[in-house]
Structure 1
């Protein structure tokens, strides 16, 4: 299934300045071969050969960028110049002509530092050249992920590496420590001095041209000796009942090993069996029993020990026998998610960063499982807030907040030129287009834009010009290799994908760095794929997904209430205050993209710029974005909102928190007032979009097709904005997925439960029966998956709303999406608690009970057949306009050397997928076999399940 996509169709806003783009005829095509001919302490010699693969040239100009600070000192067979890291070589007068198939070769001597990485961005007359300068591919084959060793460890290292030329060496690293090197295949080594602890192993291949590629990391554990393992390390058991945990050996024994379990602590807790015999590393299950004597709740620690082995401990805590089964289910699910062996997180120092999924072969909104989103961080906070409510321990919540602030909210150095922002000229207009082949989009400075009315008050409130909001997507393992501002190594790294209008699906995206220094891609980095300008400047740019930031505020409201009830509000007051600050900046999602006046916009030139708050629609739009020059001496930065709002992004509960709850009051002059208006406007929108059946229709836009066009005659309006059945994107239609129903309506249900808001109840009274009528409970539960819409809402009249009799919805198919089932259960439970609706309570409980029938070692999951994976090898088709579109004449490279150009596929730009352990299943499908089936463990879904269990325990336990 294809899932929601965040931050689609953000036009790349680029201002003039920087390196000029060189016009070139489309017939130019070339291949460049770069070769280091000799090397000494601080210098080197190299040759660069150009082969003309296009029309004959009368004059040529070769450019490249040195990645490691190299300098040309002497050159021959051409006229050399260097500006910073950019080298330009023009033809000598006696060799102007370069015929088709002809070759020109230049040479030079240069200076270097400790590294001498070869350039990759060669261009002739402004057109990027193809290989053979492609980085090698490399994959670790040993050790395997999760392997355990004992001191003195002898960890076998092995990697496969290939290259268009030859692989000069493979270096093996533990973190940043070089542990082995091999200069010939098969590439192997041994780490014989590994200290005890957890280690991340990578292989780094260098080819004969100095190009480098690094494998995906593999985590291993080194123990101080043979060891017993037990998981989970914390178990909860209701008094008088039983629970289980697993015991195993870290390494295979040479002869049978007996493990004995002993207890310290409460005698009301016992285990069976108390001895286990192991001849392998296979897990064995131990049952812990509470005697149920009705006394004080006890805690015991069970130690699993064996001769010559490091013992393992499991802490077992009794729960009150009246404790809800779902409260225990929350703790069980929480322990699985937080177990390091499960693989939901990568650890950076003392902080954890959640992956999008445990599995790496994953394409939906993120295009790789080990990326992550602002959505995942918001769910991480929710998970830890619920843990704080259940246990009274708020340290994990504070740690999750610190991780969010460090890794997915850009720091000052990541957005260095905000102080150059001119709020009277927020950004230059560039139209969005309904087709990818209409990109790059041309900047149009003649179209009026409005002024930004909140920049000054935000700066006054918080003392600087920086934006405090999450960027939507990061590459946790730096799988693509962009690194931080082109350094190639820093993880996590800020990246982006969607950028080209409503028809661009995940299968058609071209990944790009959020900080584009032109080191990768083409001569102008990736910028000229998206916008057309006279010149391009190196720049940073970030895109916010408002539903994730609003969820942070929602969670902060819940956490503040729970901690206050425990007398611990002061422990998290800093985080609550920062959540209010995030909500203050989230107001950028309330404004039209170019701060144009709201209502009746029919052309980009006639639709006037707004002043004051006339550009505010007060809804949660699809994104807001901001950026600027990387050069701190450059005089520009930009900000945009968005005029398109999807029903599934609205969060009236966050609006209530920021306008009504003192602990979450924004510091800005008008923030609280804006959120008060937004609360009313969001509830009005949901009422306007509610179909005759009960489901909520798509959304509204102030900019038809993203270009302020004229919509079809008769299109209904909401405060002068136009109804859009599928706002922002069409592949697949954005309001087709049932998940957007439950994600959006859950916030309305929570608002109703907490405040009794009659407007929210009116919406739920109609939505809940429709949803229940389309639901089957039990182990093989079925919930709606895809929906089809017909008709349209009546034009909004706030004083006399229409009935929307012609707006209808039909459920097309059903599935067992565990994350959405949990979200749906939250809607029903919130509604039931306030209204007393027994059908909602019964159905919500039945869905949670059904989820417990689908448990595995990592959490709760069901198999998924991915027929859409046939798009891995699609190339752009001019007749269907499907596949990754690259403008004619544009060529570039990914950091690992994967070529980008006409004929590129999703896979050819992401060759790392071929090294994924699950890839053979997809390859077999592409070769004509059946569609592959995967069992995915998405972080947000697992956290949604856990917090749904916790919600039931809170409301009905």
Structure 2
């Protein structure tokens, strides 16, 4: 730790002369230029500047907990470079106000029974298999952390980010944070929404977006509930979903803010925000548990798989989500919580786990939280090792609930499990396969490299010693351009010919920046010149050749935009309405559920393409996370090497 302090002091002494920290400030200024459109009038970071954008969010002016976490990190580094941490506090305040549900948003948590966290419903294979029937005959385990959280914080509410918000209220639900349920199209401010609900084949193109608070004002006779769940009766209710990698990234950012502020003698100015990050880490532990708190290991058969007692249901990995919900109105009185049995390597964050287990300024109040995060750190590192290919890349993940319903896995998956959890090369979603995107490698290994830089852990170094050469050898430079892996292909299973191959390359600036940062942190700790050289070259090429008026970006062809006309499954006979009058029925398509897209200034390119009379539409996007990543990578290199 002493060497770390010396390094930071050295960086601070010469910070104003740094080429790379100056680049950070230049990119930071572009992001904060009000004319460039990165933020809403409330100060919320949009998913992208551009509105016509379909990937995980289905509109560019939605936002995600991912964007908030990058915003917090961006402001933490601004404090490190410019000496002012007030914007770090302000970013967390905006995060808290607009993406962590208030008590009014989650008002029935006092009715939650930790001995019966939720009622079982199978996950199905395709949207056409839904709704899924509620089955109270399947036993569920106990929630072992609820009572200690109530004791620590004095209430039953959850302090975690909901993953998706319709910032401009384009859908018109008007589920305003802290402001009530289904207020409609005229509501001021952002609106919480949900999308994915129907199994691994439900890509964004097949979703039926719905409000987080369903009072049956929109949708069908039961709101949107009976599209997803088959029950004997339906009640007005609220529900939220957390993306654990985003919460962990926000905590990781708070860790760096703590270190950087301490070096500048300003730790006292951010202690209140750090305590909020620690609190978020307390509740993030819900992601460490099986969906229905079933016992971890060889869990086959929903009725046969044992209900967990105590921490038996904890796999200690950052899973794909956790979720919580409850009834509206005093005449009901119930609430539920679920974790997730599926964990993707790309969501793991050993630095966040380390911080929550070891950093005094980020110590959670829950009585077993530090112990849980220590165990999570060890388990995450073991998970990386289990999933690493001989080439160096990391395969998908593992699940305690095969097919999301504790089904019997393929026979080739039972011989080499991760503590009884079954290997899955494409955890959670299959359209496209969840580990085909190289960005999962760059994101997750960047966190691993930062953890290694902070701790010098030999386990992390062993993993990185294989991954770093694989990446360095697969970065291509040609004049003023670069190419990095884009899509990956997988074969075999852990312990049985597990291999990766690269199926395509691109010059995406977001994943390139994450890659460069991973290389830089590794190089700084391991004194590896090849990694440092590759990081520097990536940063220089993109900065010098990929500039736009709004940031750093590159044109993208979007062949998938032909799917605007893709049918969206709605059961025959089911009919409903969106707030703007768009009909939901068995004839629905992605576009018919979002008729407002026809008014987007860029839609003409998509329309011509869909009608067969135009070229593949291209867009130069400015995603908030990617533009923040550009800044953070340049700044990190400057802090590490003072060049």
| CA displacement, residues 784-840 of structure 1 (integer Å, 9 cap, x when unaligned) | 00010000002xxxxxxxxx6x10011000001111100010110000000011110
- Whether 1:696 aligns to 2:394 is yes
Q: Superposition pairs for residues 650-799 of structure 1, below 5 Å?
A: 650-715=348-413, 716-777=416-477, 778-794=479-495
Instruction: Between 658-667 and 699-708, report the one with greater CA deviation.
Output: 658-667
3-state DSSP class of the match of 1:362? coil
Counterpart in 1 of 2:36?
342
| Correspondences of 1:889-904 after superposition (within 5 Å) | 889-904=573-588
Is the CA contact (8 Å cut-off) linking 2:131 and 2:226 kept in structure 1?
Answer: yes
**Of the candidates 574, 598, 602, which is equivalent to residue 914 of structure 1?**
598
Deviation of the 1:550 alpha carbon: 0.3
Quote how far apart the aligned CAs of 1:322 are.
7.5
RMSD of aligned alpha carbons: 1.0
Deviations 1:629-660 (A, max 9, x none): 11134220000000000000000111100001
**In 2, distance between residues paired with 1:341 and 1:750?**
34
Give me the whole-angstrom Cα distance separating, in 2, the residues matched to 1:609 and 1:328.
55
Q: Provide the C-alpha distance between the structure 1 equivalents of 2:359 and 2:93, rounded to a whole number of angstroms.
A: 23
Q: Which of 414, 422, 430 does residue 113 from structure 2 map onto? A: 422
Match of 1:854 in 2: 546
Cα deviation code 1:830-854 (max 9, x no counterpart): 0000001111000001111111111
Is structure 2 residue 132 aligned with structure 1 residue 408? no
- Please give the per-residue CA displacement for 1:289-343, whole angstroms capped at 9, x wherever unaligned: xxxxxxxxxxxxxxxxxxxxxxxxxxxxxx9698221111111000000011110
Which residue does 1:271 correspond to in 2?
none
8 Å CA contact retained: 1:543, 1:624: yes
Q: Could you give the per-residue CA deviations for residues 204-242 of structure 1, whole angstroms, max 9, x where no partner exists?
A: xxxxxxxxxxxxxxxxxxxxxxxxxxxxxxxxxxxxxxx
Larger Rg: 1
Question: For structure 2, which runs of at least 5 residues remain unmatched after alignment?
Answer: 1-12, 176-180
If asked which structure has higher relative contact order (CA below 8 Å, sep 6+), I would say: 2
Question: Could you tell me how far apart the structure 2 residues matched to 1:506 and 1:326 are?
Answer: 37
Partner of 2:48: 357
SS of 1:864's partner is strand
**Gapped runs of 5+ residues in structure 1?**
1-318, 795-803, 876-883
Write the distance in 1 (CA, Å) between the matches of 2:505 and 2:587: 36
Q: Relative to structure 1, is the Cα distance of residues 487 and 321 closer, same or farther in structure 2, using a 3 angstrom cutoff?
A: closer
How many angstroms apart in 2 are the aligned matches of 1:649 and 1:738? 13
Q: How much does 1:888 deviate?
A: 1.6
Which residue of structure 2 aligns with residue 487 of structure 1? 183
* Alignment partner, residue 14 of structure 1: none
Q: CA deviation at 1:661?
A: 1.0
What is the alpha-carbon distance in structure 2 between the residues aligned to residue 705 and residue 518 of structure 1?
A: 30
User: Which position in structure 2 is the counterpart of 1:390?
Assistant: 81
SS in 2 for 1:872: helix
Q: Normalised by the size of structure 2, how large is the TM-score?
A: 0.95
Distance 2:67 2:403 in 1: 29
**Native 8 Å contact 2:16 2:22 kept in 1:** no
Whose strand fraction is larger, Structure 1's or Structure 2's?
1
Q: Which of these residues, 572, 577, 593, is aligned with residue 888 of structure 1?
A: 572
Task: Report whether the alignment pairs 1:825 with 2:549.
Answer: no
Identify the residue that residue 328 of structure 1 maps to in structure 2: 22
Alpha-carbon distance in structure 2 between the residues aligned to 1:470 and 1:676: 23
Counting only pairs closer than 5 Å after superposition, residues 234-383 of structure 1 correspond to structure 2 as 323-348=17-42, 352-383=43-74
Asked whether the equivalents of residues 301 and 407 of structure 2 are also in contact (C-alpha less than 8 Å), the reply is yes
Task: State how 1:71-82 maps to structure 2 within 5 Å.
Answer: none
Between the aligned partners of 1:378 and 1:934, the Cα distance in structure 2 is 25
- Asked whether the equivalents of residues 775 and 783 of structure 1 are also in contact (C-alpha less than 8 Å), the reply is yes
Q: Residue 414 of structure 1 aligns to a residue in which SS?
A: coil
Quick check: 1:475–1:491 contact (8 Å CA) kept in 2?
Answer: no
Secondary structure of the corresponding residue to residue 372 of structure 1: strand
Aligned residue pair count: 618
User: In the alignment, does 2:627 pair up with 1:926?
Assistant: no
Q: 2:241 aligns with which of 514, 539, 543?
A: 543
Deviations 1:906-957 (A, max 9, x none): 0000000000000100011011121100000001100011011110110001
CA distance in 2: counterparts of 1:792 and 1:611, whole angstroms:
31
Counterpart secondary structure, 2:240 = strand
Contact in 1 for aligned 2:63/2:166 (Cα 8 Å):
yes
Deviation per CA, 1:561-596, whole angstroms, max 9, x where unpaired?
Answer: 000000100000000011000000000000000000
- 3-state SS, counterpart of residue 165 of structure 2: strand
Q: Which residue of 2 aligns with 1:504?
A: 202
For residues 533-612 of structure 1, the aligned pairs below 5 Å read 533-612=231-310
Q: Distance in 2 between matches of 1:442 and 1:754?
A: 48
Structure 1: how far apart are the matches of 2:574 and 2:209?
15
Q: TM-score, normalised by structure 1?
A: 0.64
Q: Does 1:638 align with 2:322?
A: no
- In structure 2, what is the Cα distance between the partners aligned to 1:322 and 1:604? 60
SS of 1:782's partner is strand
| 1: CA distance, partners of 2:57 / 2:363 | 33
Distance in structure 1 (CA, Å) of the matches to 2:57 and 2:188: 19
Structure 1 counterpart of 2:499 = 808
SS of corresponding position for 1:412: coil
| Deviation (angstroms), 1:490 | 3.7
Structure 2 partner of 1:448: 139
Report Cα offsets for 1:166-217 as digits up to 9, x if no partner. Answer: xxxxxxxxxxxxxxxxxxxxxxxxxxxxxxxxxxxxxxxxxxxxxxxxxxxx
After superposition, the C-alpha distances for 1:95-143 in whole angstroms (9 at most, x for unaligned) are xxxxxxxxxxxxxxxxxxxxxxxxxxxxxxxxxxxxxxxxxxxxxxxxx
The answer to whether the Cα contact below 8 Å between 1:326 and 1:952 also exists between their aligned partners in 2 is yes
Spell out, residue by residue over 1:881-901, the C-alpha distance to the aligned partner (whole angstroms, 9 max, x if none).
xxx111121111111010111
State the alpha-carbon separation in 2 of the partners of residues 486 and 378 from structure 1.
Answer: 27
